[in-house]
């Protein structure tokens, strides 16, 4: 039997851009409860984008999230003693969280420069449909496409 659905806590928009997505990015960047440090990193990255790209950082961020969020993903499903990778559509909330996670992980994987610069670079690359996070999305889509033959198992579950 399934557990009860856990109620999600409501986020307040961030202080500078009044955006829930930016606040979520800050929360994903945050480590060990140091929210002010996370804010400095994110707002610093937005300042770097504003200076280098001469573009509105919020628009670049929104475009990056749009480009990185996956539309399809595979989930494991056990049918008759065999495990199949069944493609599923990704809900909007999960699409956002996966996109943010991939952008931050690809920025953290690089080294040698401050995190705000790495995050800014990754956001700019993602907004141009380039970079590690976009490659991750394309790999997920390739997996879903390769396992399209098992899509009928997703429908069998609902009956």
pLDDT of residue 149: 79
pLDDT of residue 159: 47
Ranges of each domain in the chain: 20-78+85-158
Q: What's the fold here for domain 20-78+85-158?
A: Ribosomal Protein S7 (1.10.455)
For residue 19, which of 54, 50, 59 has the smallest C-alpha distance?
59
- β strands within 40-150, DSSP E: 72-79, 82-89
pLDDT of residue 156: 55
Between CA 110 and CA 117, with CA 116 as vertex, the angle to 5 degrees is: 60
Q: What is the pTM of this model?
A: 0.87
pLDDT single digits (tens) 79-110: 888 888 888 888 999 999 999 999 999 999 99
- β strands within 95-147, DSSP E: none
pLDDT single digits (tens) 60-79: 999 999 999 999 988 888 88
Between CA 85 and CA 94, with CA 90 as vertex, the angle to 5 degrees is: 115
pLDDT of residue 82: 85
Q: How many Å from the N-terminal Cα to the C-terminal Cα in the chain?
A: 17
Percent of the chain whose predicted confidence (pLDDT) is above 90 = 66
């Amino acid at each position: 039997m399934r557990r009860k659905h856990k109620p999600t806590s409501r986020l307040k928009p961030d202080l500078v851009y009044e955006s829930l997505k930016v606040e979520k990015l800050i929360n994903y960047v945050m480590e060990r409860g140091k929210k002010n440090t996370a804010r400095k990193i994110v707002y610093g990255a937005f300042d770097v984008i504003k200076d280098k790209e001469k573009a509105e950082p919020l628009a670049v961020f929104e475009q990056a999230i749009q480009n990185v969020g996956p539309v399809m993903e595979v989930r494991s499903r056990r049918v008759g003693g065999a495990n199949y990778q069944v493609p599923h559509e990704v809900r909007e909330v999960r699409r956002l969280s996966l996109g943010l996670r991939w952008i931050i992980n690809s920025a953290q994987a690089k080294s040698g420069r401050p995190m705000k610069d790495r995050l800014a670079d990754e956001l700019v690359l993602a907004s141009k449909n380039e970079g590690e996070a976009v490659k991750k999305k394309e790999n997920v889509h390739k997996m879903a496409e390769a396992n399209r033959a098992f899509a009928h198992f997703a429908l069998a579950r609902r009956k």
